[in-house]
Amino acid sequence: MAWLHTWSGLVVGWVLFFVFITGTAGYFTYEITRWMEPERPLQSAAPHHDNGALALMAMKRLEQVAPGAQYWSITLPHQSQATRDWENFAISWETMPREGHENGVRGSEKLDLSTGGLRTEVQPRETGGGNLLYRMHYVLHYIDRATAFRIIGICTMLMLLAMVTGIITHKKIFKDFFTFRRGKGQRSWLDAHNIISVMALPFFLMITYSGLLFFYTTYMPAGIAAVYGTDDKARDRYFDELYGDHTHEAVARPSASIPNMIAQAEDAWGEGKIRSVLVMHDGGEEPFVEVQRVRGDKVRVFDAQTLRFHAHTGQPLPPEPQDSAVVKTHQTLLALHEGRFAEPWLRWLYFFAGLLGAGMIGTGLVMWTVKRRKNHDATGGHFGLRLVEALNVATIAGLPVGVAAYFWANRLLPVEMAERASWEANFLFLVWGEALIYALFRDIRRAWVELLWLACAAFTLLPVVNALTTDKHLVATIAAGDWTLAGFDLTMLGLGLIFGYMAIKVKRVWLKKAAQQTQARNPALLEQVTE
């Protein structure tokens, strides 16, 4: 069982480290994107607005741009927990499908709060933002989605196997949680691995198992094929049965007073709690208006509380039927994985747990090399061990440098550059690849220290680069109370300090070990080694 734990973790460890780093960044997708779009104005308090009046202006605009659509949707200004962003006044719609097509054409517009016309906005630079980093943890990069899903699925399954076998084989896992022996080589790495693993074990099990559920139809297509067939419409039939299928008729402006419906919703939920207004007409049913509450007060963040009204009489209608237990369970696990329901303090807890996951994988990878280095040093070294050590250095120390390069590219690449977002990502992988080449041809001990110091410099200097290239520097954002932008710069400084501390600790460990080896060979040289 122990060998299964070791090899199931080692074989995919570097991919999983990448998944944890990029996935952890996804808990602050919006914050990262805002920093990478410095052309946008600083955040300010939202002006007071009359939701009823806004809804009337939006309805007038929808009649002009989308008559006879299959639905109208009005987004009212609110702070969204689901997207972690301020949602502005906007409309969206979907036209009736043309003959031979299943779906219509979707459209949307952002509207001005005063006039109801199109809102003019500053066009930010092209960037992948935080969403690109988040997508990397399940679609990787440079390869097609189907292949990426399968690679990530295999790696995730092996991680789940590694955790289960680790729990089974380590009978004193919770006792050893309180034990850390410094300066003991392999024993110290094992203690660190155990402590990190136990510290966030429920999170690791949840994040791994729920991650497998995202693409279950890709991993296990046989069940759907057996029941629903293998033709092009099989998956549609499956999802129609799972989530329900509706035919739609063209909508028109409701006869009933929408401001009155909004007032009833505000009486029930309080002011500032309305997210959107939806106008729809399901086939075989009466047209209705659905007022949706701001999401975020429960784990299933997209399962919003609603009030439904008849579009022409204004009479309250019964709510839609509840989802099945299967759907609720699936959506709850996915919500736990993404943490969209989480308040800022809980998102920080997710973030630190994600870093602990990377630490668990990293200590496991290093422990494998430490355990074998002593034997191979005596026999003159081994290419396989050398390769694993280089991969460890390039991934654990080099990948963070690549992530920092992603942010540096955002600030230094020309704003009007073609395919700019793609080149931001390219810089991440180019720097990561260069770190691997460097680790392969550099003394491994020096490579560890030097790349950790490079990571320290790359993150610490990011706020400086930001101040030199934009007007959204740390002093300005703190003065304006824009803690989204200020928090990003402060986090970069914090990460830089962490990598600096790691570089100092690693150098001390190597120096101490070198001194001990030198003393064993020739005590007279001890003083020279430690200088």
Measured CA distances, 24 to 124, 225, 292, 358 (Å):
25, 35, 30, 9
Residue 11 has pLDDT above 70, yes or no: yes
Give yes or no for residue 373 having a pLDDT over 80.
no
Whose tokens are 């990948």? That residue is 399
User: What is the rounded CA–CA span in Å between residue 274 and residue 261?
Assistant: 11
Cβ proximity of 193 and 370 under 8 Å: no
The residues that bridge with 289 in the sheet, in sequence order, are 279, 309
pLDDT at 529 over 50: no
- Residue 526: the pLDDT is 47
Decide which of 137 and 179 is more confident: 137
What pLDDT score was predicted for residue 119?
A: 87
Give, in degrees to the nearest 5, the angle at Cα 211 between 189 and 158.
Answer: 50
pLDDT of residue 490: 97
In degrees and rounded to multiples of 5, residue 272 shows phi and psi of: 80, 10
Whose tokens are 């909508």? That residue is: 251
Res 525: pLDDT: 46
Of 191 and 352, the structure prediction assigns the larger pLDDT to: 352
Characterise 30 by phi-psi region: left (phi > 0), alpha (psi -120 to 50), beta (else): alpha
Compute the distance between CA of residue 8 and CA of residue 457 in angstroms, rounded to an integer: 34
Say if CB 85 and CB 75 are below 8 A apart: no
Sign of CA dihedral 320, 326, 331, 332: positive
What does the pLDDT look like over 446-476, one tens digit per residue? Answer: 999 999 999 999 999 999 999 999 999 999 9
The least confident of 74-88, 100-114, 180-194 is 180-194
Residue 493 near residue 460, CB atoms below 8 Å: yes
Give the separation between CA 237 and CA 219, rounded to whole angstroms: 18
Report percent pLDDT > 90 for the chain.
Answer: 48
Both structure tokens of 146 = 């189907």
Question: Rounded distance, CA 77 to CA 273, Å?
Answer: 10
Its pTM stands at 0.86
Q: What are phi and psi of 324, to 5 degrees?
A: -70, 165
Judged against a pLDDT cut of 80, whether residue 522 lies above it is answered with: no
Residue-level pLDDT at 442:
92
| Strand bridging mode 90-94 / 71-75 | antiparallel
Q: What is the pLDDT of residue 530?
A: 47
**pLDDT at residue 381 in the model:** 58
Q: What is the mean pLDDT of the chain?
A: 85
**Mean pLDDT within 375-392:** 74
Question: What pLDDT is recorded for position 487?
Answer: 94
pLDDT for the residue 329? 83
Can you tell me the mean pLDDT for 503-526? 68
As a whole number of angstroms, the distance between CA 65 and CA 287 comes to 20
H-state helical runs in 110-250:
129-139, 145-169, 186-199, 201-213, 216-219, 221-228, 234-243
Q: Sign of torsion, CA 49 53 55 60?
A: negative
Residue 59 has pLDDT above 80, yes or no: yes
Q: Which parts of 379-482 fold into alpha helices (H)?
A: 383-392, 399-412, 420-441, 444-460, 462-469, 474-480
What confidence score (pLDDT) does residue 55 get? 93
Q: What is the pLDDT of residue 437?
A: 96
pLDDT of 177 higher than 70: no
- 42 and 480 Cβ atoms separated by less than 8 Å: yes
d(CA 14, CA 500): 22
Per-residue pLDDT band at 376 (split at 50, 70, 90): low
The tokens of 119 are what? 């809102």
**pLDDT tier for residue 140 given thresholds of 50, 70 and 90:** very high
**Residues 6+ away with beta carbon under 8 Å from 414:** 420
pLDDT at 236: 74
Q: Which residue has the higher pLDDT, 7 or 154?
A: 154
What pLDDT sits at residue 200? 83
More confident residue, 164 or 239: 164
With a cut of 80, say whether residue 349 has pLDDT above it. Answer: yes
